[in-house]
Structure 1
Amino acid sequence: MIVRMEWLNYHHLFYFWTAAREGGIGKGAAALRLSQPTLSAQIRALEQDLGERLFEKAGRGVALTEAGRLVFRYADEIFGLGQELRETLGGGRTVRQPQLAVGISDALPKLMVQKLLDPALKLEDPPRLLAREDATERLLAALATQDLDVVLTDRPLDPQSRLKAFNHLLGECGVSIFASPALARGLRGAFPGDLDGQPWLLPLQGTALRRALDQWMGTHRIRPRIVGEFSDSALLKAFGQAGGGCFAAPDAIAAEVVRQYRVKRLGTAEGVRERIYAVSVDRRLRHPAVQAIRDAARTWVFA
């Protein structure tokens, strides 16, 4: 029996890859020394061949669709291997560096993320880190299309989610409250009651830490004067350093927060916990770099 192979047009794929890598049709056409209509026609031919749209309009330009991001990732591998083959046959000694694509929830403290990722970069054969920060929902969508190897987030994947993925608890720790020295000197009374009516800098509504802090404040009858709400934890701490208000941070990085932002630790928010999960499509974490992240979390980040 003769099996008919459906061949991919690699010329079309190369044109698409170049346009995506350069950041658009116009820049891609300039890099390839083609007219924009010619390049657009080549990419449309590839879309028709694959049965998927690869670009979509975004403002005045274009952006990759989900299918486009997946095709670009495969194209990156294909043409990277082709270049490696040429260098090898030409007498070069090329070692292909492994990659680790990590999605980082924007709710996570950046100091803690750095401590978690650092061991992966110190492996004997360290990967090239591709770190993408975004809302958890969009990161999980990228995980589903294999655009990411793992997603680090503050909450586990919903059991009702249609995404077939698995939660791996990396660790948990307590949470403390911090303030600038000037704000701390103005507090009167015992902690945490002295925080009632004080200015506060809080994570956005809907995050796991915000829900826990709201419950803790309600239990202790703390009525915060909310100055700002932030998705970026580093920006929140910068405002805290400037005296904008009290703020919370995990105990696992308390020493770094005090040293880097020159703030005072006021006390522990009893019962409030910070948790970090690694969400992957594998029931067991197989990527060596992700295993290094897990092991470091358990042995010293959350120890």
Structure 2
Amino acid sequence: MGQLNYHHLRYFRAVAHEGNLTRAADLLNLSQSALSTQIKQLEERLGHALFERRGRRLVLTEAGRIALDHADRIFGAGEELLATLSQTGTVRQALRVGALSTLSRNFQLGFLRPVLGRGDVDLVLRSGSATVLLEALQALALDVVLTTEPPAQDALSGVVAHRLAEQKVGVYGAPGRLGHASLRDLLAAEPVILPTESSIRTGFDSLVARLDITPRIAAEVDDMAMVRLLARENAGLAIAPAVVLADELASGRLAEAPFGLEIVESFYAVTVARRFPNPILRWLLTGQGASAGA
């Protein structure tokens, strides 16, 4: 099988972004017939039609959308290389990080702090669901995904979950809410702000079952940032790791109840096996990982 002709790919990319053969031909300084020939040759090489015509517009087929995604990454990397070397005379390293949209912002900041402000690192942050982020990781569009749960071993091939930190989950709230004689009295009397994150929720449900109480849930939240805001507004007691509320605890606005929950949340960096691993990420995982959640 012959190699891909990248001139054809560049022409295809221009047509795909313009959505019009005439405009793309003018942009590339080619005749429409010559450009059309180049696109047909690429389609023959790939074995799929890349466009379908709708009125005067050319619309990407499913194969065309896949080809455009790859073309954008290929030529984007080339443009990044030229821009980087022409600016500094040294190579800059991109670090592409995905994080669950529900993950503690304070934890993310703690993990990334060693690379913030570094002149040789371009940091790209993306948030989303675990499914979307792990798909991007396997497609090599991300270097690492930060999460509180490792992916199932049979769900994805080649992924490795590095445990960065483990933090105990506590009860946090306005000091005036915490003056109860026991954990049972506290959880029976005060409303709670409960994250839906599975390890916390599972541990909490088991705890209240053992205590034989039915807690009053002020809010069930899938975003740790919202847990923090609701606790600040005194909507109830937050069931969370301390890192989520670090600023409020440091200022004295919130305090920790003097009762242990015996619930632990782990933080992971999920990577995929690569022939050329990102050296910045390797440095973070080996040199910073142990203290990332501190």
TM class, shorter-length: 0.7 to 0.9
Give the aligned partner of residue 224 of structure 2: 233
Structure 2 Cα separation of the partners of residues 107 and 172 of structure 1 = 17
Correspondence for 1:177: 171
The alpha carbon displacement at 1:252 in A equals 4.7
Is structure 2 residue 106 aligned with structure 1 residue 108? no
Aligned identity (percent) is 23
User: Where does residue 248 of structure 1 map in the other structure?
Assistant: 239
Aligned to 2:55: none
Q: Structure 1 pair 6/71, CA: closer, same or farther in 2 (3 Å)?
A: closer
Contact 1:165 1:283 survives alignment (8 Å): no
Q: CA 1:6 to 1:283, structure 2 compared with 1: closer, same or farther past 3 Å?
A: closer
Aligned twin of 1:58:
none
Displacement of 1:80: 2.8
Distance 1:247 1:277, change over 3 A: same
Q: Which residue of 2 aligns with 1:142?
A: 136
Distance 1:146 1:225, change over 3 A: same
SS in 2 for 1:228: strand
Change (3 A) 1:301 1:168: closer
Change over 3 Å in CA distance of 1:222–1:257 after alignment to 2: farther
Whole-angstrom distance in 1 between the partners of 2:2 and 2:274: 36
- Partner residue, 2:77: 77
What do the CA deviations read for 1:27-55 (whole angstroms, capped 9, x no partner)? xx79x979xxx9xx899866776467989
| Cα deviation, residue 244, structure 1 | 1.2
Q: Cα gap change, 1:259/1:154 in structure 2, threshold over 3 Å: closer, same or farther?
A: same
Deviations 1:158-205 (A, max 9, x none): 0121332111111212111111345x16x543234321153222222x
Give the match for residue 56 of structure 2: none
Distance (Å, rounded) in 2 between the aligned partners of 1:47 and 1:181: 67
- Structure 2 CA distance for partners of 1:145 and 1:260, relative to 1, 3 Å: farther
* Runs of 5+ consecutive residues of structure 2 not aligned to the other structure: 52-58
Quick one: structure 1 residues 43 and 286, their matched pair in 2 at CA, closer, same or farther if it must change by over 3 Å?
same
Q: Cα distance 1:270–1:177, how it changes in 2: closer, same or farther (>3 A)?
A: same
- In the alignment, the residues of structure 2 paired with residue 180 and residue 53 of structure 1 have an alpha-carbon distance, to the nearest angstrom, of 62
Residues 1:160 and 1:43: Cα distance change in structure 2 (over 3 Å): farther
Structure 1 distance, partners of 2:37, 2:72, is 15
Larger Rg: 2
SS at 1:270 equivalent: coil
Partner deviation per Cα, 1:266-290 (whole Å, 9 max, x = no partner): 1354321110111111289943322
The reply to whether residue 271 of structure 1 matches residue 265 of structure 2 is: no
Superposed CA RMSD = 3.9
How far apart are 1:112 and its partner, in Å?
Answer: 1.1
In the alignment, what sits opposite 1:289? 280
Q: 1:7 aligns with which of 5, 8, 26?
A: 5
CA distance in 2, matches of 1:122, 1:111: 17
Specify the alignment match of 1:208 in structure 2: 199
Instruction: For residue 14 of structure 1, report the CA deviation from its aligned partner.
Output: 4.6
- 1:230-271 Cα deviation digits (max 9, x unpaired): 222112210111111111222456543413682221135432
Moved more, 166-175 or 214-223: 214-223
Q: Secondary structure, in 3 states, of the residue corresponding to 2:106?
A: helix
Q: Which moved more, 1:237-246 or 1:288-297?
A: 288-297
TM-score by length of 2: 0.75
Q: Distance in 2 between matches of 1:285 and 1:193?
A: 55
SS in 2 for 1:194: helix
Match of 1:196 among 188, 191, 195: 188
1:163 aligns with 2:157: yes
State the distance in 2 between where 1:224 and 1:67 align.
Answer: 53
SS at match of 1:223: coil
Structure 2 counterpart of 1:109, which letter?
Answer: S
* 1:216/1:269 contact within 8 Å kept: no
Q: CA 1:301–1:100 in 2, change beyond 3 Å: closer, same or farther? A: closer
- In structure 1, how many angstroms separate the alpha carbons of the residues matched to 2:65 and 2:88? 36
Say if 1:66 and 1:145, in contact at 8 Å, map to a contact too. no
- Aligned partners of 2:221 and 2:77: how far apart in 1? 37
Describe the shift of the 1:156–1:224 C-alpha distance in structure 2 as closer, same or farther (beyond 3 A).
same
1:97 corresponding residue in structure 2: 92
